[in-house]
Amino acid sequence: MQGVLYAAVAGAFVLGLFFIDSYRRRGSHRSSAGARQREIDSLAEIEKSEDFAQSARRVAEAEAVSIRQLAQTEADAHRRAAEAESEALRRAAKSDAASATSAAQAIRDQAKTDAAGLIAARDRAGARQPGRPAGRDAGQARRAGRTPRG
């Protein structure tokens, strides 16, 4: 049993050495500080160049055009939505006005019918009483200061 344990410890040790060696090699393949500085300097030169500036300007202009188009599209969508809402409100107000007009007309017609019925009932009641003017003559007599009986 102890032999297996010693073999496992030795295997782990050898495996650890392989990992350490691979990390050491990986670090040596990377560029050194001088190479890294040269890379940074070359990037700085590229940024300073006119080509890079023109390219950046074109990209910025393209992005600005894209943003303008997007804003215009969104503004048009908001405008259309507002127009549709105002049109719906106008139609609703027109419908409400029409229904109010028809309701008022119905009330007016009902009032005329009721008034005609009341006038007819009064005229019938006035016709049954002798000596009392009936209908419009009674109202004219009262306004003139005469009594309706005579």
User: What confidence score (pLDDT) does residue 150 get?
Assistant: 44
Q: What is the DSSP letter of 135?
A: T
Give the SS3 label for residue 128. Answer: helix
Q: Name the CA radius of gyration of the chain, rounded.
A: 52
C-alpha to C-alpha distances, 109 to 89, 102, 103, 136, nearest whole angstrom: 30, 10, 10, 21
In this structure, are residues 94 and 100 in contact, taking their beta carbons and an 8 Å threshold?
no
pTM for this model (two decimals): 0.40
What is the percent of the chain with per-residue pLDDT over 90, rounded to a whole number? 47
What residue type is 39 in one-letter code? E
Mean pLDDT over each residue of the chain, to the nearest integer: 83
Q: Mean pLDDT, to the nearest integer, of 44-71? A: 85
Give the SS3 label for residue 133. Answer: coil
Question: Token match 């910025």: residue?
Answer: 60
Question: Token match 């009641």: residue?
Answer: 125
What are 132-148's pLDDT values in tens digits?
Answer: 555 555 566 566 665 55
150 token code pair: 């005579």
